[in-house]
Amino acid sequence: MYAAVAAGSFRRYATYRVATAAGVFTNTVFGLILVYTYLALWDERPQLGGYDQAQAVTYVWLGQALFATLALQGGGFEAELLERIRTGAVVIDLYRPADLQLWWFAADFGRSAFQLLGRGVIPFAFGTLVFPSALPADPLVWLRFLLALLLATLVSFGIRFLVALSGFWLLDGTGALQLLLVTGMFCTGMALPLNAFPEPLGGIVRALPWSAMLQMPADLLMGETGALRTYAFQAGWAVVLLLLGRMVQTAATRRVVVQGG
């Protein structure tokens, strides 16, 4: 059943071809802006954050490829679930013979798979072909990266599921979505690699779950960290977030309040 939900979500997003093309264009343009900004910054500060210029450029394009894939600043299922909670339509979800958390994870996984293939590959391929990059030649490294990407998907879902569940208490989730956008910009490393943050701020943000989505997979791909360390960090946060989501879901659904009666 959950595989069917994921496949249906993939097909759903695949129907928005114009939006996908616009997303590819947007990610490519923002990638170019960031690349030239990074090149200027790395000219002044070589080896900033332990990266050379090729690694910094690779990091930019990887971020653009994963921006929509992992919904780094939101834009996945969370807004829809928040709205269903606000209107009371979530009651239908709770009546389904399916687990709420697994149902939405399956839907989000299908969305992520499409965004990676439909929106992420082209900007990444363009950027790494046009600019000097630090991509590995060993296919085993790419396989390790794909596993890290799967774990990053779990972490991303765990964070956004908790944000969506806040709607049971907030009723209006606009503020929660805005907070997700801001934390996604800075704590994932989209604005600047977390390795380049000054201490002690750098150490703090690298210990937070957001670093499991972009920073650690990027470091693994470019050989800056080991696979076991990456997987342990990602899996640890995934377990914590998913268990916390399960606990909050249990508490929230004991009493469902439908706004407006």
Q: What is the pLDDT of residues 162-221, one digit of tens each?
A: 999 998 888 788 888 999 999 988 999 998 999 999 999 999 999 999 999 999 999 999
Q: Which one is predicted more confidently, 135 or 259? A: 135
Confidence of residue 261 (pLDDT cuts 50, 70, 90): very low
For 195-249, the DSSP string reads GGSPTTHHHHHHHSGGGGTTHHHHHHHTTSS-HHHHHHHHHHHHHHHHHHHHHHH
Least confident of 34-38, 174-178, 227-231, 236-240: 174-178
Question: Residue 72 forms beta bridges with which residues?
Answer: 74
| DSSP structure string for 65-86 | HHHHHTTBTB-SSHHHHHHHHH
Asked whether the beta carbons of 108 and 98 are under 8 A apart, the reply is no
Whether 70 and 59 have beta carbons less than 8 Å apart is answered as no
Report percent pLDDT > 90 for the chain: 82
**Spatial separation of the C-alpha atoms in residues 224 and 146, rounded to whole Å:** 16
* Residue of 170, 189, 168, 192 lying closest to 72 (CA atoms): 189
One-letter amino acid identity for 212? A
Please give the average per-residue pLDDT across 4-32, as a whole number.
Answer: 94
58, 70, 107, 178, 252 from 181: Cα distances, Å: 23, 13, 21, 5, 24
pLDDT band for 258, please (50, 70, 90 cuts). low
Average pLDDT in the 242-261 region?
78
Q: Could you give the C-alpha distances from 29 to 186, 218, 235, in angstroms and in order?
A: 20, 20, 33
Share above pLDDT 70 across residues of the chain, in percent, rounded to a whole number? 97
Average pLDDT on 34-48 reads: 93
